[in-house]
Amino acid sequence: MAIEYQSYSEFEKWLADKLGEARIPISGMIELTPRCNLRCAHCYMGALRDDRDQMDTAFICSLLAQIAAAGCFAISFTGGEPLLRRDYRQIHRTAHQLGFWINLLTNGVLVDASLISFLQQYPPRAVEVTLYGGNEDSYAALTGNGNAFYRVTHNIDAMLQAGLPVILKSVLLKPVLASMDEMNAFATERGLEILFDAGVTPDLLQDFSPTDLRLAPGCAVDIELDSPKKTALLKAYHDRMGQRDAAPGFTCGAGHRGFHVDYRGNLLPCLMLREPAFDLIQQYTFASAFEAMGRASRPQFPESSRCSRCDLQHLCGFCPGTVACGEVPPGSEDSFYCKVAKSRLKKLQ
């Protein structure tokens, strides 16, 4: 009998279908620190990158055990830059021993031979590295660190040679555009594709300057969906979402099957929605916080907004988390998000 292998996304969808309406935290993200060794102009953390607060090691390891007991099987470690924590390996090892599928989200600068050897011993599901261009100039323009490009690309090669599963990502920004060909060539030579994201939002403190770096919607979508594989994945998602009957105003599933824990130890629906927040250090266990979050109102747009009546909600990238960062629902079809949705739909037809 042949064995059928599933990708992570296929398995997650299969599991979600099996669960039906049951609310179980099957995957989540933990923000280990707000600090970062780069100063990216578009960063959603904004000035929070200078906050020195963070959860201690013992609490995080205890929390991971609670999360595992609640039924979660996949955990992502993010920041800031999670590798800035000196205890990262202890946290990662604990998660691995608890049986989690681990995603490490990193800018790749701090990866070294010792960490690679450690990750071979405690393999993650993926190391997701964000690229900020295809040369030193693009890195300098966007991150403030022109020396990072060589280190990141060298470290990516070292991880691949060690057999680690690397995923390349990038945000579609004006400073990145000039070196797009170099970025794609780098990925292709290594048998990889870059996952591009057209969404650029204000930061968590409602600073709108990152939005000045957005590409024109049509250009961004052309790059984002530059391969049949990427287009097919989006089409499958579009077809799946089109089969759902959503009540007016509903737009977001944050906090239903997934969750986010911020660096201060609060359980949140997602990394952009910082309210409602449930204090896991002083007030709640993970199980009681997840239950309380389920009783809270689901994130949604006002019924009076254009978004609540739009059939392309799932294609535009605008969501309640974006609203929490200060943006208002699009007032016309000429908005950035509406144009992104229409450009994506055109690609699928």
Q: Where are the domains of the chain?
A: 23-215+253-299
Mean residue pLDDT of the chain comes to 89
- Rounded to whole angstroms, the Cα distance separating 313 from 311 reads 6
**Does residue 294 register a pLDDT over 70?**
yes
Confidence at 119, pLDDT banded by 50, 70, 90: very high
H or E element, residue 112: none
Considering 9-18, 55-64, 233-242, 271-280, the range whose residues carry the highest mean pLDDT is 55-64
**Does residue 319 register a pLDDT over 90?**
no
Question: Mean per-residue pLDDT for 107-120?
Answer: 98
Top-tier CATH class for 23-215+253-299: alpha beta
Q: Quickly list H helices, 127-284.
A: 136-143, 148-161, 174-177, 180-189, 217-224, 228-242
H or E element, residue 127: strand 126-130
Confidence at 208, pLDDT banded by 50, 70, 90: very high
CB atoms within 10 A of CB 209: 11
Structure tokens belonging to residue 237: 């998602």
**Does residue 34 register a pLDDT over 90?**
yes
Q: Which of 13-17, 54-58, 205-209, 241-245 has the lowest mean pLDDT?
A: 241-245
Confidence at 243, pLDDT banded by 50, 70, 90: low
Q: Return the CA Rg of the chain.
A: 20
Confidence at 72, pLDDT banded by 50, 70, 90: very high
Contact call for residues 279 and 265 (beta carbons, < 8 A): yes
DSSP-assigned letters across all residues of 31-96:
E--S--SS--TT-TTGGGGG------HHHHHHHHHHHHHTT--EEEEESS-GGGSTTHHHHHHHHH
Structure tokens belonging to residue 55: 């959860």
The helices-and-strands tally (H runs, E runs) of the chain is 14, 9
- Rounded to whole angstroms, the Cα distance separating 158 from 116 reads 8
